[in-house]
Amino acid sequence: MIAKLKGTVDAIDGDSAVIDVNGVGYLVSASARTLRDLVVGGLATLLVETIVREDAIALYGFLETAERDWFRILTTVQGVGARVALSILSTLAPDEIARAIAAQDRAGLSRAPGVGPKLAARLATGRLATRARCLPARSTRTPSRPWSISATSASRRLVPWRALPSVWVVKPSSMR
């Protein structure tokens, strides 16, 4: 799977960009928020979510870990595919999504194209609210240091940042 692309932005259109990595152009779909920050001819490092289907391999790119994490979470909801998840991320910033889910703000969630009242209700209630609380409050574009602190209920310990998944690691009490 492709997890990250670092290269030159060759082209940007309505919902995707072409990233040239050593002469190979990758077509990466992205939210409007991510595409707005890319510059044709400039260097870019994108976190990538690769989705393999029978008929295609699709790449979805993100400048921030929070955006990628929300993409992963949103696509677990019934009725939310990659396009709708990108639409939600184009309309609402990751922290706005978290606030809308916490407040069960169906109107705020339904502002995104492709999200009707039924889907907004599904997003605002249920397992998604629980999963949203597991995400870190801040997002980073790149790791600021090679070590991160993992949150546990009793103590904090240093863990290599590459060992951390995209959500906080909470070690079960039986493993301490």
Tokens standing for residue 174: 């039986």
Q: Please report, rounded to a whole number, the percentage of residues in the chain having pLDDT higher than 90.
A: 52
Confidence of residue 96 (pLDDT cuts 50, 70, 90): very high
> What Å distances lie between residue 135 and 74, 100, 128, 169, CA to CA?
13, 14, 11, 10
**pLDDT tens-place string over residues 44-80:** 999 999 999 999 999 999 999 999 999 999 998 888 9
Cα distance between residue 12 and residue 99, in whole Å: 30
CA distances from 156 to 4, 121, 160 (A): 29, 36, 13
What rounded mean pLDDT belongs to the chain? 79
pLDDT band at 30; cut points 50, 70, 90: very high
pLDDT of residue 35: 95
Question: Hey, which bits of 13-109 come out as E strands?
Answer: 16-21, 24-30, 43-52, 57-62
The residue among 29 and 117 whose pLDDT is bigger is: 29
Span 28-38, average pLDDT: 95
What pLDDT score was predicted for residue 153? 35
> pLDDT of 111-152, one tens digit each?
999 889 888 888 887 677 666 666 655 555 543 333 333 343
Domains and CATH numbers, the chain: 4-62 (2.40.50.140), 65-132 (1.10.150.20), 146-176 (no CATH)
What is the per-residue pLDDT for 21? 96
